[in-house]
Structure 1
């Protein structure tokens, strides 16, 4: 995506206290945050690079870098490899319910899209056979996709489906969420077993999600069952934690 850099107006930084007690990086971060919250830096806009901003303000690159990192840590900015620093489109908060990421993004007024990486028939290994309750070596459909929100990669989704879904097409998977595709085939999703965790990104995941190598990722393993108790999909998904979180409601019994 070749997006023009958004040059911050000089008057945004006119009142910097260069010899005051408040660190300069913190003052810079405050003013950029104000521009984001006020709409002067809209979601998806790309900031000018650290060197250029530092030269305009007469400040060192480490000072600018630390200011930017403050806002990255807050979830307001995101660094994208090969693109630069962008204003975050808004974090997706997902309730731990039986929904698809595609639906969650659409419901949060973000435009979901998909890059299909793998769509192939593979024999079930020991783990997949156990998850889907099929025999080892039985045919399954293996999917691997990148899910994007407003053209920003949010998650890498890997799924395995039993043999009856081998006819799922690439056109379906790029236009719709997986659960939409299954529902269109008459599947009624009823319950799922799910485990949420965290780990470091692999080199390939970092490339696909446009993050630094070995960055932290949220993970989710899920086996979903239909209303007859049959396993209809197993998925291993990983998410960027700066753009995505899970929400759980706890009730005291």
Structure 2
């Protein structure tokens, strides 16, 4: 067993072979939680990449000098977060890191691409509809005025991450499904000469409906993060209203908070 201050090193034959784990038996933090935190950090920083195998629980307990229940509990906590998956006959495999996104005016597609998350998009809705009261207020048009609504499922590493619903003025952009599937909406706006300047955004949370759960490969009632955003160009014109939902198991918002002078 690893002693206070000991470092457990994985052996060859798994992705843990080159990693050190500092496990402190004298700490009030349980060993399983220490191991889970360090595995999660390795995944987040790319030391453990999607597809890497960790081996099975018996092998891991021997390699790391820990009891099998301790290793099982650590792995289960990351399975519950969606970072690891158990595969029969294969062992434990890294799925992905959680997407952590700063709260700033940027495109989810661009952020994922820059983070090496291999984003893909499925267009599930693209039509012209009368603006509801909320949409009309956000876009500064009359209720019932025609607007374009876009529904898209954004995936990373072929797994659903977010369900995006965007409303834009009908005459703002020339949009087609192939282009919407290939890139992000804000990138399309920039290429059309639209300069995004600011946005008003609200973040919340709720449980997934049956339809949303099916789209996002979640169970009904699973936790979802929600976001409503109205974006403005450099003339102050509202150019987009979005209502998005994200899998809480795979996505989080990062805040930087400053002390008010």
TM-score class, shorter-chain normalisation, is 0.7 to 0.9
Q: Distance in 2 between matches of 1:86 and 1:214?
A: 26
Instruction: Tell me the C-alpha RMSD between the 2 structures.
Output: 3.8
Aligned-pair distance for 1:76? 2.8
The verdict on how the C-alpha distance between 1:64 and 1:136 changes in structure 2, with shifts beyond 3 A counting, is same
The verdict on how the C-alpha distance between 1:36 and 1:126 changes in structure 2, with shifts beyond 3 A counting, is closer
Q: Distance in 2 between matches of 1:104 and 1:182?
A: 16
The verdict on how the C-alpha distance between 1:65 and 1:211 changes in structure 2, with shifts beyond 3 A counting, is farther
Structure 1 gap segments, 5+ residues each:
1-7, 13-25, 58-62, 80-84
Deviations 1:129-153 (A, max 9, x none): 1110101111100000011112121
| Stretch deviating more after TM superposition (164-173 or 218-227) | 164-173
TM-score normalised by the chain length of structure 2: 0.71
1:251 — aligned with what? Answer: 258
Q: Distance in 2 between matches of 1:93 and 1:71?
A: 16
2:189 — aligned with what? Answer: 182
Match of 1:147 among 154, 173, 177: 154
Deviations 1:146-173 (A, max 9, x none): 1111212111000100121363111110
Number of paired residues?
223
1:82 — aligned with what? Answer: none
Compare relative contact order (CA 8 Å, sep 6+) and give the higher one, 1 or 2.
Answer: 1
1:88/1:243 contact within 8 Å kept: no
2:103/2:255 contact within 8 Å kept: yes
Structure 2 gap segments, 5+ residues each:
1-12, 18-30, 62-69, 87-91
Aligned-pair distance for 1:72? 2.8
Deviations 1:161-196 (A, max 9, x none): 012136311111011100001111111000100000
Match of 1:161 among 164, 168, 187: 168
1:72 — aligned with what? Answer: 79
Q: Distance in 2 between matches of 1:234 and 1:65?
A: 44
TM-score normalised by the chain length of structure 1: 0.73
Large movers: runs of 4+ above 4 Å: 33-42, 45-48, 63-68
